[in-house]
Structure 1
Amino acid sequence: MRNEYLFTSESVSEGHPDKVSDQISDAIVDLFLSKDPEARIACETLTTTQLVVLAGEIRCKGVYEDGKWAPGAEQEIEDTVRDTVKRIGYEQEGFHWETLTFENHLHGQSAHIAQGVDAGANKDEGAGDQGIMFGFACDETPDLMPATLDYSHKILERLAADRHSGAAPFLEPDAKSQVTLRYRDGKPVACTAVVVSTQHAPGYDEGEKEAELKAYVKKVVGEILPEGFISDETVWHINPTGSFVIGGPDGDAGLTGRKIIVDTYGGASPHGGGAFSGKDPTKVDRSAAYITRYLAKNVVAAGLAKRCTIQIAYAIGVSQPLSLYVDTHGTGTVGDDRIEAAIKGIDKLGGLTPRAIRTHLGLNKPIYRKTAAYGHFGRKAEGDFFPWERTDLVTDLKAALG
Structure 2
Amino acid sequence: MIEKVNPSHPDKVADRIAGAIVDLAYKTEAVPKIAVEVLIGHGKCHVIIETTAAINPLDVEDAIHRIAGAVWADIDIVPQDKHLSDNQSAGIRCGDNGIFKGMPLTEEQKALSVIAHDIYTHYPYDGKYIIEEARLIICQSNASTAELSNMYPPAEVNPLGDWTGGTDVDTGATNRKLGSDMADSVTGGGLHGKDLSKADVTLNIYAFLKAQETGKPVQIACAIGDDTIDGHPYQELVDIAAEYISSVGGFEKFAEWGLF
The verdict on how the C-alpha distance between 1:39 and 1:151 changes in structure 2, with shifts beyond 3 A counting, is same
Task: After TM superposition, list the pairs within 5 Å mapping 1:47-196 onto structure 2.
Answer: 47-60=40-53, 63-64=54-55, 73-85=56-68, 97=69, 99-116=70-87, 118-120=88-90, 124-137=91-104, 145-163=105-123, 173-181=125-133, 192-196=134-138
Equivalent residues, number: 257
Answer yes or no: is 1:356 the counterpart of 2:246.
no
Task: After TM superposition, list the pairs within 5 Å mapping 1:209-248 onto structure 2.
Answer: 213-221=144-152, 234=154, 236-245=155-164, 247-248=165-166
The verdict on how the C-alpha distance between 1:374 and 1:220 changes in structure 2, with shifts beyond 3 A counting, is farther
1:56 Cα deviation after fit: 3.1
Q: Are the counterparts in 2 of residues 155 and 221 from structure 1 also a CA contact under 8 Å?
A: no
The verdict on how the C-alpha distance between 1:288 and 1:45 changes in structure 2, with shifts beyond 3 A counting, is same
Answer yes or no: is 1:369 the counterpart of 2:252.
yes
In structure 2, give the amino acid aligned to 1:200. N
Q: Are the counterparts in 1 of residues 123 and 142 from structure 2 also a CA contact under 8 Å?
A: no
Alpha-carbon displacement from aligned partner over 1:153-207 (angstroms, at most 9, x marks no partner) = 222222221235xxxxxxxx111111123xxxxxxxxxx2111111127xxxxxx
In structure 1, give the amino acid aligned to 2:156. H
TM-score, normalisation: structure 1:
0.60
Alpha-carbon displacement from aligned partner over 1:329-352 (angstroms, at most 9, x marks no partner) = xxxxxxxxxxxxxxx4xxxxxx1x
Structure 1 or 2: more helix by fraction: 2
Q: Are the counterparts in 1 of residues 100 and 219 from structure 2 also a CA contact under 8 Å?
A: yes
The verdict on how the C-alpha distance between 1:272 and 1:29 changes in structure 2, with shifts beyond 3 A counting, is same
Sequence identity (%): 25
TM-score, normalisation: structure 2:
0.91
The secondary structure found in structure 2 opposite 1:249 is coil
Match of 1:91 in 2: none
CA distance in 1, matches of 2:259, 2:185: 16
1:27 Cα deviation after fit: 0.9
1:238 Cα deviation after fit: 1.1
CA distance in 2, matches of 1:44, 1:102: 13
In structure 2, give the amino acid aligned to 1:311. Q
Which of the pair has more CA radius of gyration?
1
CA distance in 2, matches of 1:264, 1:45: 20
- Structure 1 runs (4+) greater than 4 angstroms displaced: 363-366
CA distance in 2, matches of 1:360, 1:161: 30
Match of 1:38 in 2: 31
Q: Report 1 or 2 for greater relative contact order, CA contacts < 8 Å, sequence distance ≥ 6.
A: 2
Match of 1:250 in 2: 168
Q: Are the counterparts in 2 of residues 153 and 375 from structure 1 also a CA contact under 8 Å?
A: no
The secondary structure found in structure 2 opposite 1:154 is helix
The verdict on how the C-alpha distance between 1:239 and 1:42 changes in structure 2, with shifts beyond 3 A counting, is same
1:361 Cα deviation after fit: 4.3
Match of 1:348 in 2: none
The secondary structure found in structure 2 opposite 1:102 is strand
Answer yes or no: is 1:320 the counterpart of 2:228.
yes
CA distance in 2, matches of 1:241, 1:216: 16
Flag structure 1 segments of 5+ consecutive residues without an equivalent: 1-7, 65-72, 86-96, 138-144, 165-172, 182-191, 202-212, 223-233, 301-307, 325-343, 345-350, 378-402
CA distance in 1, matches of 2:108, 2:149: 17
Alpha-carbon displacement from aligned partner over 1:294-319 (angstroms, at most 9, x marks no partner) = 2222213xxxxxxx110111111222
In structure 2, give the amino acid aligned to 1:240. P
1:126 Cα deviation after fit: 2.1
Q: Are the counterparts in 2 of residues 314 and 320 from structure 1 also a CA contact under 8 Å?
A: no
Match of 1:400 in 2: none
Alpha-carbon displacement from aligned partner over 1:245-286 (angstroms, at most 9, x marks no partner) = 2x2111111100111111012xxx353211101011111111
The secondary structure found in structure 2 opposite 1:215 is helix
Alpha-carbon displacement from aligned partner over 1:200-233 (angstroms, at most 9, x marks no partner) = 27xxxxxxxxxxx2332134336xxxxxxxxxxx
Which of 135, 139, 142 in structure 2 is aligned with 1:197? 139
Flag structure 2 segments of 5+ consecutive residues without an equivalent: none
The verdict on how the C-alpha distance between 1:373 and 1:146 changes in structure 2, with shifts beyond 3 A counting, is farther
CA distance in 2, matches of 1:272, 1:10: 16
The secondary structure found in structure 1 opposite 2:189 is coil
Q: Are the counterparts in 2 of residues 119 and 126 from structure 1 also a CA contact under 8 Å?
A: no
The secondary structure found in structure 1 opposite 2:138 is strand
CA distance in 1, matches of 2:241, 2:186: 21
